[in-house]
Amino acid sequence: MSEQKKNDRAGWFEGPQADCSALPGDTQSPWRLVLLGAPGVGKGTQADLLHKNLGACHLSTGDVFRAAGSRDACEQTPAMKAAIEYMRRGELVPDTTVWEMVRERSGCIRCGGGFILDGFPRTLAQAEALKGYMESESLSLSAVVNYELPLAEIVARLSGRRTCEKCKSVFHVTGKPPRHEGVCDHCGGRLFQREDDRPESITVRLEAYERSTAPLIRFYTDLGLLVSVVAAGSPDEICDSTLSSLHALTSSGDHRTLV
């Protein structure tokens, strides 16, 4: 039996003119999820694990921004060009531009295999835009997972990270230490602590996150879609808690916190 071709998510990374090399098969009840959670709670890791368990594509807006910056100008859509200009000036990309980049990838939102949105929406305006679009396409979200972790644990996670200046590999002083202190295992480059991983910077980032996310929590709670999961334990344990909570929500209509 030939090996199934892996979905390269080209439609998400490259935009509306690209076709994925292999798409997840249409399912009767595809999972359409939004992941929320402060920096450091492990949303990306959980998105990958949920993809493996549920089949839905992991769609990260951070990946879209990074991919846009690496493409030739002639291959960038107007929304990509606008986003890159904001980022080059060190400014936040406005809601309208972020939404336009997601809307350009509407095929990924409509995909019969479902999706796991990571990094979007981040504001109430973005959430309302997504809701309006999905309603116009007769689609509905399955759930919104909010990963929670005490501030002190988030600071410990992020402040312990060290990044290779050459290959950008990431280590952790206690969770994933390099074989030799300060030296990358992969390329021998110097490991350093990013400015935004310093405790004082982390606190500012988390305060900003809480301000922007509080309205989202209320919005999705009112819609009966919020699932809160404490992001403590191993990645597999957190994923198991998430899956249990998702199945409980879809079967009963309730939302709950799992520890």
User: How far apart are the C-alpha atoms of 222 and 167, rounded to whole Å?
Assistant: 44
Active site residue 161: yes
Q: Which entry of 66, 81, 166, 194 is annotated as an active-site residue? A: 194
Q: Residues 190-193: contacts with CB within 8 Å, 24+ apart?
A: 190/164, 190/165, 190/166, 191/162, 191/163, 191/164, 191/165, 192/162, 192/163, 192/165, 193/159, 193/161, 193/162, 193/163
Q: Is 71 among the residues known to form the active site?
A: no
Rounded distance, CA 155 to CA 101, Å? 31
The catalytic residue among 43, 105, 157, 162 is 43
Residue in 9, 157, 161, 162 annotated catalytic: 161
- Catalytic residue (one of 9, 32, 105, 122): 122
Residue 105 is among the residues annotated as catalytic for this protein: no
Determine which one of 71, 131, 198, 205 is catalytic.
Answer: 205
Handedness of CA 38, 42, 45, 47 (dihedral sign): negative
CA distance linking residue 93 with residue 82, whole number of Å: 8
Active site amino acids: 43, 122, 161, 194, 205
